[in-house]
Structure 1
Amino acid sequence: MTTAVETRDWGVEWAAALDELELDVVEVEAMLADERRLAETPPSNLWRPPTELGALPLELRPRADEILTRQLAAAEEIARRLTANRQQMAMTSRIETGEAVKRPVYLDCAM
């Protein structure tokens, strides 16, 4: 007699889990490609690894590695853009607009 655990197809369940994870990466990549969409899109739900699936089947390892590589590239691009944004904010904060400091327009040297 086989139990429900023995009849589960781990490969199919892992493939479904990788599909879900890959959709998250595709969404981030699309937002990075379209800054307007990035500003208007609320954050998505965090991906949670499936429970009770056991070890990743070897035939799915290349796909999992490719998804990980894409995730790392997206995270690196996000970090790069955050750094550029901070640098731009620091630069613009040093630009004198004349509004904060009132200086004389002319100097009377006749005195």
Structure 2
Amino acid sequence: MSGDWRDAWSAALDELEMDVATVEAMLADERRHAETPPADLWKPPTELGALPLELKPRADEILTRQLKAAEEIARRMTATRQQMTMTTRIETGEAVKRPVYVDRAM
């Protein structure tokens, strides 16, 4: 039974790690991100019990990668929002608040 428990946890971590790898790949390639449909949300397995101690380093590494990917997503969302704000100002003329003169002497 101990082997089944460890195997179930290992399979759950495999699935979670594949999700993180997909997000990391999308962050690395903008075109792929635009062409990739949204992934299914990972759902934690039920009735597994506590994580086996020998899998803790792997789980910690996956968590670190998830947090790093989440930070990058947040950074890109902020940059996109700032870019959209600037684009809106340029399109409406709000970015330039100075008079425009036409030289009619020519």
TM over 0.5: yes
What is the aligned counterpart of 2:51 among 44, 53, 56?
Answer: 56
| Aligned counterparts of 1:96 and 1:51: Cα–Cα separation in 2 | 52
What is the aligned counterpart of 1:21 among 13, 16, 20?
Answer: 16
Residues 52, 8 of structure 1: alpha-carbon distance in 2 compared, 3 angstrom cutoff: farther
What is the letter of the counterpart of residue 89 of structure 2? R
Which consecutive residues of structure 2, in runs of 5 or more, have no partner in the other structure?
94-100
What is the letter of the counterpart of residue 72 of structure 1? L
- Percent identity of paired positions between Structure 1 and Structure 2: 75
What is the letter of the counterpart of residue 23 of structure 1? M
Q: Deviations over 1:52-108 (max 9, x none)?
A: 11000000000000000000000000000000000001111111567xxxxxx8599
Which consecutive residues of structure 1, in runs of 5 or more, have no partner in the other structure?
1-5, 99-104
Q: Greater helix share, 1 or 2? A: 2
Q: Could you list the runs of 4 or more consecutive aligned residues of structure 1 that deviate by over 2 angstroms after TM superposition?
A: 105-108
| Aligned counterparts of 1:7 and 1:75: Cα–Cα separation in 2 | 34
Q: Deviations over 1:35-58 (max 9, x none)?
A: 001011110100011111100000
What is the letter of the counterpart of residue 85 of structure 1? T
| Aligned counterparts of 2:69 and 2:36: Cα–Cα separation in 1 | 16
Give the aligned length. Answer: 98
